[in-house]
Structure 1
Amino acid sequence: MKTASSKHTVYFTADSHFGHEGMMENRMSRPRPFGSIEEHDETLIANWNAVVRPCDEIWHLGDFAYGGTIEHAKAVFRRLNGTKRLLHGNHEKWGKALPWASQHEGFVDVTVEGSRLFLCHYAMRAWPGIWRGTLHLFGHTHASLPDTRRSADVGVDACNFRPVRLDEIRGRMAEARDWPEELAGAAAAGEVN
C-alpha cells in the first residue's frame, strides 16, 4: 500500500476525455455543456489549474484523452499542474503514451490523509477493506451512479468539471443516502457507522 506525502494536497479526477468531440453530442446520456471541443478542453484545463498547484499530486482515474491526436494530448498534459498519476481507463490510447509520474493497470490501494482508498476506473460493488472503512473512488460512469457512504464518482461530470480533494469527497459521502450493497444490511442494523 502506498502512502501519499502530507507536504502537498492530493486531488482526484477522471474522464476528462480531452480532445473527444463526442462528449458534447446528444447521443451521450449527459452531453457536456460546451459549444466546442476547444471550449471543453480549455475549461477543463483552467478548472484543473485553478485548484491544483505545481507542488500538488493528482490521481487521474482513467480516460484522460480520447479522439484528437497524440500531439494534442501531449500539449494538454504539459499545461496541467501537479504530479500526475494515471490509473488506466477503457479509453487510454493517448493517455498511456504520456509522461505520468506513475501509471497503473486495474486498481491502486493508497493511503491519503490517513484514509485507505481503493482507486479504480470502474465502480465496484465490493472492494478490499470495505468493512474496515476503506473508501472507493472511481470514474467511468459520467455521474450516472449516485455516491454511497463509502464510494464516489470523481469524474469531471460528477465534480463540476474539476479535480476534487478528499475532504470534498468525504463531504459528499456523508450526505449520501445509501450504503454500498455489501454493508447495507449491517448499516441498517446499526453495526456500521
Structure 2
Amino acid sequence: MIFFTADTHFFDEYLKHDQQFANRDFLTVAEMNQTIIDNWNFVVGLEDIVYHLGDVAQIASNVTGYQQVLDVLASLNGQIVFIKGNHDPRALLKYLKKKQLRTPKGKEKFLFHDVGLILKFDHYQFFLTHYPLMLGISVNSINLHGHIHHYAVNSATNINVGVDTPEGDYLAGRKRPFGQPFSQKEVVEMVQQKDIDFKKRK
C-alpha cells in the first residue's frame, strides 16, 4: 500500500503543545514522537511505501541530532520517500543516505527527492511537494503538500496531508489518530469531498 504524510516535526519542542499553528497537545516531545510512531505503524506495513512531504524533525544540526532522527525513522514501518522540507537540513538527508537501512525484503528504506515528484492513480495526477503549489486550471491534477500545518489552501486542487491538517475532516467524519499517514484511498476521498464542498460554495 501507499501512504502520505508531512510535517511530523519529531523532537520539536515548540510545536509539541501548539493548538493554533499546529494541532498538538503533548507534554513532552517523547510523548509526541511515540504517538506518531504508534499510529504510523498501526496502518503502515513493513513493505508499504510512505511519501513524507517534508519537515521530518526539528533537531540540533549535528551527528547526535541526526542519529536521534535515524533512531526514530528506524522504528517506523515501510519504505519512506522523502521530499525535502524547509526544516530538513541537507546534512540530515545526507546522513540518512549514508546510514541507509533496508526493509525486511531488502529494499532501501530511505529514498530522496529534492523538490517533488508526480504520481498517477485513480485517474488523478498528483503533484507531491512540501510547499503548496498553485496548479491553475488543470483537469484531474491535485497537489498533495504539507508546510502549512493546521491550515488549508483555499482551492479544491490542493490537499494538505500533514499530521496537523484540518482536511482529515473530509473523511466521512472519522476521527483519525494523530500522526497516522493517509492511504491512497483516503487521499482520493479527501479530494472528492473537498471538490464537493467547493462546488457547494459557488
Specify every segment of 5 or more residues in structure 1 that has no aligned partner in the other structure, as ranges: 1-8, 180-187, 189-193
Distance verdict in 2 for CA 1:76–1:113, change over 3 Å: farther
1:32 maps to 2:24: yes
Tell me by how many angstroms 1:167 deviates: 1.5
Looking at structure 1, the residues matched to 94 and 141 of structure 2 have their Cα atoms a distance apart, in angstroms, of: 27
1:153 maps to 2:173: no
Tell me by how many angstroms 1:134 deviates: 1.7
One-letter amino acid matched to 1:134: S
1:141 maps to 2:152: no
Tell me by how many angstroms 1:97 deviates: 2.5
Tell me by how many angstroms 1:13 deviates: 0.3
Looking at structure 2, the residues matched to 10 and 27 of structure 1 have their Cα atoms a distance apart, in angstroms, of: 29
Please list, as runs of the form range in 1=range in 2, the aligned pairs for 1:73-88 lying within 5 A after superposition: 73-88=69-84
1:173 maps to 2:191: yes
State whether residues 65 and 95 of structure 1, in contact with CA within 8 Å, keep that contact through their aligned partners in structure 2: no
Q: State the match for 2:139 in structure 1.
A: 132
Give the aligned length.
171
Q: State the match for 1:6 in structure 2.
A: none
Describe the SS at the equivalent of 2:150.
coil
Q: What is the TM-score of this pair, normalised by structure 2?
A: 0.75
Tell me by how many angstroms 1:27 deviates: 9.1
One-letter amino acid matched to 1:58: V
Specify every segment of 5 or more residues in structure 2 that has no aligned partner in the other structure, as ranges: 101-108, 169-177
Describe the SS at the equivalent of 1:50.
helix
Q: State the match for 1:5 in structure 2.
A: none
Looking at structure 2, the residues matched to 165 and 121 of structure 1 have their Cα atoms a distance apart, in angstroms, of: 18
Deviation per CA, 1:148-191: give whole Å up to 9, x if none.
Answer: 43321000112532101121122222222237xxxxxxxx6xxx
One-letter amino acid matched to 1:178: F
Describe the SS at the equivalent of 2:15.
helix
Distance verdict in 2 for CA 1:168–1:26, change over 3 Å: closer
Q: State the match for 1:121 in structure 2.
A: 130
Looking at structure 2, the residues matched to 83 and 114 of structure 1 have their Cα atoms a distance apart, in angstroms, of: 24
Identity of aligned residues (%): 28
Q: State the match for 2:85 in structure 1.
A: 89
CA RMSD of aligned residues (A): 2.4
Please list, as runs of the form range in 1=range in 2, the aligned pairs for 1:7-46 lying within 5 A after superposition: 9-26=1-18, 29-30=21-22, 32-46=24-38
Q: What is the TM-score of this pair, normalised by structure 1?
A: 0.79
